[in-house]
Amino acid sequence: MRIELLTAPDCPHAASARQLVTDCLSSMALDLPIIERVGRYPSPTVLVDGADVMCPAATVLAADACRLDLPTPERLLTALRANSADHLRDAARKEPLMCADPGADSVSRDTDQKTGRHLMRTAVRLLAGGGPVTVADLCAAAGVDRADLTTAPAGRDIEYDDHHRIIGWGLTLNPSPHVYIVDGQHLYTWCAADTLLFPVILDRRAQIESRCPTTDIVVSFTVDPRSGVTDLSPSTAVISIPGSQTMDSAAVRATICDPGRFFANPQAADDWLTAHPGGTVLPVANAYPQLRLISGRLLD
């Protein structure tokens, strides 16, 4: 969820609007960054996912003027509740953060959605051992006689070696921006969000490292499947999550995984938010409990 405060230069209401947003976020236990922009805006304007909380259907026009309809706690809280619920409901339905379910039309008789999730979950667990996985071994471990992996979640993105062994399916042996260390194995993940999901699926603690593309600072932390995120450095780090509307089920990694990154602080993610208007940025620690909605679905 993206929170923006738009003000004109020297707006006398800027400080009170900022405090209003801070108080409302705090009352909902939402630790989200407030993106502040100063320019030619009706001032102050509070946007939640791009919509003016006082007039959601209106377009914010350039204007150097104090607005008469100042943002109110009631309107802001209503917008926050609606958008927070929509975001999590949409994420749980589409699983965009971890190689979403393919649409029903793309699922073959051999591999339905539940079987596809089971195969991917099993593949992640096998890959955590640090070596390639044959399709036969995967099917045996999953208790499946035969499967069309191309119709499983992100099946078209599965990485194979020269012997047609699986070397990447969410968790990968090939280098990516996101280092995932579990049980001494130095692995990688396709998605930034996968680093927060896989500890639950593997039931193992993991150490994560990922370089901020803006500041070049390495974001590092530990994820425990029960206690969540610890040892976060820098403590201001955030994770960017692309909007599910950008997902292409035929190219999940390119449309959902690759755009998601870790940033050293909320300000470092400003350009990312501009380039991905449907996306959201969350503090790393706060993202973990929200993403458990998705890892729980994969454990079904």
Q: What is the pLDDT of residues 141-196, one digit of tens each?
A: 998 877 778 777 788 899 999 999 999 999 999 999 999 999 999 999 999 999 99
Q: For residue 68, give both structure tokens.
A: 């008469």
pLDDT(120) > 80? yes
Most confidently modeled range among 20-29, 103-112, 117-126, 205-214: 205-214
Q: For residue 84, what are the β-bridge partners?
A: none
Superfamily of domain 1-91: Glutaredoxin (3.40.30.10)
pTM: 0.66
- Residue 181's alpha-carbon distances to 8, 98, 151, 171, 219, in angstroms, are 47, 18, 29, 11, 14
> How confident is the model at residue 298, as a pLDDT?
56
Contact 189, 172 (CB under 8 A): yes
> Residue 97's pLDDT is what?
43
DSSP annotation string for 49-66: TTEETT-TTS------EE
CATH of 102-299, one of 3.30.450.410, 3.40.190.10, 2.30.110.10, 3.40.50.720: 3.30.450.410
> How far is Cα 194 from Cα 172, in angstroms, rounded to an integer?
11
List the domain boundaries for the chain.
1-91, 102-299
**Torsion on CA atoms 126, 131, 134, 140, rounded to nearest 10:** -30
Q: Phi-psi bin for 219: left (phi > 0), alpha (psi -120 to 50), beta? A: beta
- Amino acid 106: pLDDT: 34
- 138-164 burial code (b ≥16 CB/10 A, e <16): bbeebeeeebebebbbbbbbbbeeeee
What pLDDT digit, counting tens, does each position of 8-46 carry? 877 888 888 999 999 888 887 777 888 888 777 888 899
How many other C-beta atoms lie within 10 A of the C-beta of residue 289? Answer: 11
Residue 115 has which token pair?
Answer: 């079987």
The helix (run of H) or strand (run of E) holding residue 181 is strand 178-182
Q: If residue 83 lies in a helix (H) or strand (E), which one and from where to where? A: helix 73-94
